[in-house]
Each structure stands twice: as C-alpha cells, then as structure tokens.
C-alpha cells in the first residue's frame, strides 16, 4: 500500500532542474513510486527521505558527469583519435598485414620499393 509521506520537495526540485526534459517525468515517477510503495513502509520516514536524497545525489552526479564528459570526448578525444591514433595504427598494422600476406622476403622487398619511391619523390 502506498505511503502518504511525500518525497522531499527540495530533492524533487533538484532532480526536476538537473534531469533532461525527455527523462524527467519517467525518472521522477519511478522514484516516487518506489519511495512510496517500497522504501517508506520498509524503512520508515527518516531513512526513506535519506534514501531519496541519496538517489537524488547519485542521479545529479551521473548526469553532470555525462554532460561534462560527452562534449570532452566529442571535442578532444575523437579528433585525437582521428588525427593521431588511427594513423599510427595504420603504420603498425599495415606492415604486419603485408608480412602476413606476402611473407617476410616479399614484404621486405615491397618496403624497399616503397622507400625508394618516397626517396625518388623527395629528390
């Protein structure tokens, strides 16, 4: 049976402000339902309010970190991957694939030919 004790108003307000609009109503509804039907009857009003605040802090922390890390990934890590890591991987993996496909002698010959071609271009 649901409890008559409402969730802490300030915690609800913090969640309302912190959550993205698309997730606000479902999350608040689920949290309130869990609070009223499971937590209050089992642990009492004081611990239930502490539980609600705990969930509020976790949720705000999660969305704050997500919103801070996602732009960082998009602006810093992704270009770094495209401009530095991926070309380095190509330099490491491509010769290994050539060796695997051609064998050592042919791979060394192909590398020597490619090196000569690069040197000829530079001259």
Out of 42-51, 60-69, 98-107, 109-118, pick the least confident.
Answer: 98-107
Give the range of the structural domain holding residue 21, as residue numbers without chain letter: 9-122
Q: Tell me how many domains the chain contains.
A: 1
Q: Is residue 29 part of a domain?
A: yes
**Sole residue written with tokens 């309010």:** 49
Q: Is residue 4 part of a domain?
A: no
- The share of the chain scoring above pLDDT 70, in percent, equals 71
Q: What is the pTM of this model?
A: 0.56
Report the alpha-carbon distance of residue 49 to residue 35 in Å, rounded.
8
pLDDT, one tens digit per residue, over 41-93 is 999 999 999 999 999 999 888 887 777 677 766 777 777 777 776 676 666 66
Q: Is residue 2 part of a domain?
A: no
Q: Is residue 116 part of a domain?
A: yes
- DSSP string spanning 33-91? HHIIIIIHHHHHHHHHHHHHHHHHHHHHHHHHHHHHHHHHIIIIIHHHIIIIIHHHHHH
């Amino acid at each position: 049976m649901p409890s008559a004790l409402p969730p802490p108003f300030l915690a609800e307000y913090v969640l309302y402000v912190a959550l993205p609009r698309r997730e606000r109503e479902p999350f608040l509804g689920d949290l309130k339902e869990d609070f009223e039907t499971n937590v209050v009857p089992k642990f009492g009003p004081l611990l239930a309010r502490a539980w609600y605040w705990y969930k509020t802090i976790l949720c705000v922390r999660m969305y704050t970190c997500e919103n801070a890390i996602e732009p960082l990934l998009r602006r810093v890590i992704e270009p770094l991957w495209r401009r530095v890591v991926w070309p380095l991987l190509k330099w490491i993996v491509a010769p290994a694939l050539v060796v695997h496909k051609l064998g050592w002698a042919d791979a060394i010959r192909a590398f020597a030919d490619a090196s000569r071609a690069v040197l000829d271009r530079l001259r």
